[in-house]
Chains A and B, each alone.
Chain A
Amino acid sequence: MFGPRLDGGNGTTLRPPTREDYDLFGRWQLMPEVTRFWGPRYGTQTPAEIEERMKKDGESQTAFLWSIAYQDETVGFTGVFGIDWVSRDAETGIFIGRHDLYGKGIASEAVRLRMAYIWNELGLHRTHNWIALPNRGSWRANQKSGYAQIGTYPRSWYRSGEWVDEWLGEAFPHTFPNEKLPPPWRDESSRGK
C-alpha cells in the first residue's frame, strides 16, 4: 500500500509515490553518492519492470510506502515493510536520494511522521530496522523517534575496501516521545484533555 499524505515541519512531507517518483528511486539506487550504505548498485530498470514494482508495492498488504518531499520536491522514500499482522511487528527503512540535502533534518522529520502514523493508525506493537553503523545521521534520526539499539551485525557491508558493521534497532509505541507527536494526532490528543 501507499501511505497517506502527512505534513510535517521543516518543509518535509510524506506522500503517496507517483510513477515519476519510481523513476527517481531507480536512478538514485545506481548513484555512488547515495549508495555507500545501500544495495548492490545494479538493478532492473526497464519501464515495464518499474511499473510492475510500483504495482506490487501498491497492492501489498504487508507494507506502506511513502515518497519523502522537501519543499514539494521528491527527495527520497521511506516505509514500513514485512508487516506481521499477528505479532504486529514490521521493519522500517528510509532512503534519501538527494545527497545535496543531507544534514537538513529531512530524515529526522520523515521518521517522526512515519513512526507517528505506525503507532497511531496501524496499531503496530513494535518495529525494527538495520542501519549501517557509520551512517550516524540515519540512526540518530531513528533514535530521536524512539529507536534503541538491540545489537550490532559485524562486517555487514563491504564498501570502499573495508567492512562496515550494522546497527540493529527496535522501537515501541511507548518509546516514541510524546512531545514530538505531530498533527493531526497531537491536535486530537489536546482536544481530549
Chain B
Amino acid sequence: MALGGTIRGKRTTLRTPTEDDLAGYNRWMADMRVRHLARVWHEPAMPATWKERLTEQTKNKESVLWSIESEGALIGMVRIQFGWDNRLRAWIDALIIDPAQWRKGLASDAALALHRYLFDYLDMQRINTTLRADNAAACRIAERLGYTEFAHGHEVFYRDGAYVDEIWLMMDRATWDARWSSEREYEPLGSRTLPGAAPRARGKTGD
C-alpha cells in the first residue's frame, strides 16, 4: 500500500509520489505558515535524507502517501495511517497544501476525493483525524465533509509563543453515505447484464 495510486478530484489529483516531489516536501515542512497550522510529516532535511524517508514510506505497510497535483503542478501531500488492529479504519495524519495555493478550494477538493476513495473503494468504515483548534480552514473542510468532534485536548501544540488546543474528529461510513452518496468515482453498474447472459431482446417489450 505504502505509496498511493491515482485518485482524481475535480481540480486536484492525488498521485504516486516521486523523488522529484521531495524538494517541495522539504520546502513546505520548513514553511512557518504550514508549521503553525499543522503537524509536519518530517522535519526539513538534506535531499539524501528525504530519499531515505521516501524509501521507508514505500516499505511501510501501515500507511499510504500521496502527492497532490493541480493543473499538472505539485501542490501538496497527504498521508493516511491504518488503524492499529482494524484496517477498516484510518487516520489522516498529514494533509499539507503549498501556502501559495491556499484559499483556492484545493484542499477541500483533494480531501473529498481522498474520502471517496477511502469509503467507496477501500470500503473503510471510519476515518479519523486531529486538527489544531485554530486551523479554521481545515475545521470548515472537516465539518463540511461530515466529521464530528469526539475529544478536545487542551494546550497541546506550542507555536507562536503560546499553546493551542487540538480537536479529535471522526466520520463514520453512514455519514459519508448520507452526505456524499452522489459522489462516486465510477458510474453505478446498475442492472447491467452479467457476463454470458443473453442480452434482452429490444422491441418486444416496447423498450
Let me know if A125 and B168 touch, CB within 8 A: no
Answer whether residue B170 sits at the interface, using C-beta atoms and an 8 A cutoff.
yes
Note all chain A residues with C-beta closer than 8 A to B170: 153-154
Nearest to B84 among chain A residues (CB) is A39
Answer whether residue A54 sits at the interface, using C-beta atoms and an 8 A cutoff.
no
Answer whether residue A86 sits at the interface, using C-beta atoms and an 8 A cutoff.
yes
Nearest to A172 among chain B residues (CB) is B155
How many Å lie between the Cα of A7 and that of B152 in the bound state? 34
Note all chain A residues with C-beta closer than 8 A to B153: 126, 128, 150, 170
Let me know if A86 and B158 touch, CB within 8 A: yes
Note all chain B residues with C-beta closer than 8 A to A89: 156-157
Let me know if A87 and B85 touch, CB within 8 A: no
How many Å lie between the Cα of A87 and that of B149 in the bound state? 22
Answer whether residue A181 sits at the interface, using C-beta atoms and an 8 A cutoff.
no
Let me know if A150 and B151 touch, CB within 8 A: yes
Answer whether residue B186 sits at the interface, using C-beta atoms and an 8 A cutoff.
no
Main secondary structure of the interface of A (DSSP, over half): strand
Q: Which of A148-186 contact B (CB under 8 A)?
A: 150-154, 158, 168, 170, 172
Answer whether residue B154 sits at the interface, using C-beta atoms and an 8 A cutoff.
yes
User: Which 8 residue pairs spanning A and B have beta carbons closest together?
Assistant: A151-B151, A40-B85, A168-B151, A87-B158, A87-B157, A150-B151, A151-B150, A39-B85
Nearest to A128 among chain B residues (CB) is B153
Answer whether residue A53 sits at the interface, using C-beta atoms and an 8 A cutoff.
no
How many Å lie between the Cα of A88 and that of B159 in the bound state? 11
Let me know if A87 and B156 touch, CB within 8 A: yes
Extra pairs beyond A39-B85, A153-B168, A168-B168 (7, CB < 8 Å): A87-B157, A126-B153, A128-B153, A151-B149, A151-B151, A151-B152, A170-B154
Note all chain A residues with C-beta closer than 8 A to B154: 126, 150, 170
Let me know if B156 and A126 touch, CB within 8 A: yes
Q: Chain A nearest CB: distance from B67 CB in Å?
A: 25
Note all chain B residues with C-beta closer than 8 A to A125: 155, 158, 163
How many Å lie between the Cα of A158 and that of B89 in the bound state? 13
Question: Which of A87, A126, A128, A152 sits near B150, CB closer than 8 Å?
Answer: A152
Note all chain B residues with C-beta closer than 8 A to A39: 84-85
Q: Chain B nearest CB: distance from A71 CB in Å?
A: 32
Let me know if B150 and A153 touch, CB within 8 A: yes
Interface string of B149-187 (1 = CB under 8 A from A): 111111111100001000010100000000000000000
Let me know if A88 and B158 touch, CB within 8 A: yes
How many Å lie between the Cα of A154 and that of B152 in the bound state? 14
**Interface pairs (5), CB distance under 8 Å:** A39-B84, A125-B163, A126-B155, A150-B151, A151-B168
Q: Chain A nearest CB: distance from B75 CB in Å?
A: 26
How many Å lie between the Cα of A168 and that of B150 in the bound state? 9
Nearest to A38 among chain B residues (CB) is B85
How many Å lie between the Cα of A190 and that of B156 in the bound state? 31
Interface string of A96-131 (1 = CB under 8 A from B): 000000000000000000000000000001101000
Nearest to A84 among chain B residues (CB) is B157
Let me know if B158 and A152 touch, CB within 8 A: no
How many Å lie between the Cα of A89 and that of B164 in the bound state? 12
Q: Chain B nearest CB: distance from A28 CB in Å?
A: 16
Q: Chain A nearest CB: distance from B35 CB in Å?
A: 10
Q: Chain B nearest CB: distance from A56 CB in Å?
A: 13
Interface string of B117-158 (1 = CB under 8 A from A): 000000000000000000000000000000001111111111
Let me know if A154 and B150 touch, CB within 8 A: yes
How many Å lie between the Cα of A87 and that of B153 in the bound state? 13
Note all chain B residues with C-beta closer than 8 A to A152: 150-151
Note all chain A residues with C-beta closer than 8 A to B168: 151, 153, 168
